[in-house]
Amino acid sequence: MAAAPDPLVAATRAADLVAALVERGQTVATAESLTAGLLSATIAGVPGASAVLRGGLVVYATDLKASLAGVDTERLGRDGPVAESTAAALAEGASKRCGATWGVGLTGVAGPDDQDGHPPGTLFLGICGPDGTTVTCPAVHGDRWSIRLGGVDAAVSGLLARLTSDSAL
């Protein structure tokens, strides 16, 4: 089994993310299910984060994905709360509802039990920005805490990669 993600590494990457967003004059918002606000808290732990972090929606319950983040109820009924389409809609909803340049949506299964046929460690990461919306399914392993930290690390790293892949954004 892989080692648990190091919270200090995630904090360092979050500092890099905040610096990159500040440099570009851009903002970020989150809609988090399996991480339950841990991503927003990690970003907020960086001095100067108030210049870029617009807010976060904790949408742990399925109905809140619709009412707070704006995920279409038909989509939720069809695809379920743990799905690529749901992660994309969460990211888009976070950006729109919080008025941010970038939206990050996280949904998945932290375990210990399967959810809707998905095993623990299933993670869908949606990132919405000026160049569109992407969804990835990063590999995360371990206990609940490790899976949640892995989600945060994947989100910070993923958004940082999007920011640095095209300096024109």
Average pLDDT in the 121-135 region? 98
pLDDT band at residue 8, thresholds of 50, 70 and 90? confident
Which residue did the predictor score with more confidence, 54 or 11?
54
**Segments forming the whole domain that contains residue 76:** 7-163
Q: What is the pLDDT of residue 165?
A: 86
Output the CA angle 8-13-16, nearest 5 degrees.
135
Cα–Cα distance measured from residue 159 to residue 18, given in angstroms and rounded to the nearest whole number = 11
In the chain, the number of structural domains is 1
In a domain, 1, yes or no: no
Average pLDDT in the 104-133 region? 97
Average pLDDT in the 3-13 region? 77
In a domain, 21, yes or no: yes
Average pLDDT of the chain, as a whole number: 94
Average pLDDT in the 133-151 region? 96
SS (H, E, C) the chain: CCCCCCHHHHHHHHHHHHHHHHHHCCCEEEEECCCCCHHHHHHHCCCCHHHCEEEEEECCCHHHHHHCCCCCHHHHHHHCCCCHHHHHHHHHHHHHHHCCCEEEEEEECCCCCCECCECCCCEEEEEEECCEEEEECCCCCCCHHHHHHHHHHHHHHHHHHHHHHCCCC
In a domain, 169, yes or no: no
In a domain, 120, yes or no: yes
Read off the pLDDT of residues 55-102 as tens digits, 9 standing for 90 and up.
999 999 999 999 999 999 999 999 999 999 999 999 999 999 999 999
In a domain, 32, yes or no: yes
Q: What is the pLDDT of residue 169?
A: 46
Q: Are 135 and 88 in contact (CB under 8 A)?
A: yes
22 residue type, one letter: V
CATH number of 138's domain: 3.90.950.20
Q: What is the pLDDT of residue 2?
A: 53
Is residue 134 over pLDDT 60? yes
Q: Which residue has the tokens 């009924």?
A: 77
In a domain, 168, yes or no: no
Q: Which residue has the tokens 């870029």?
A: 52
CA distances from 81 to 7, 33, 88, 162 (A): 27, 9, 11, 25
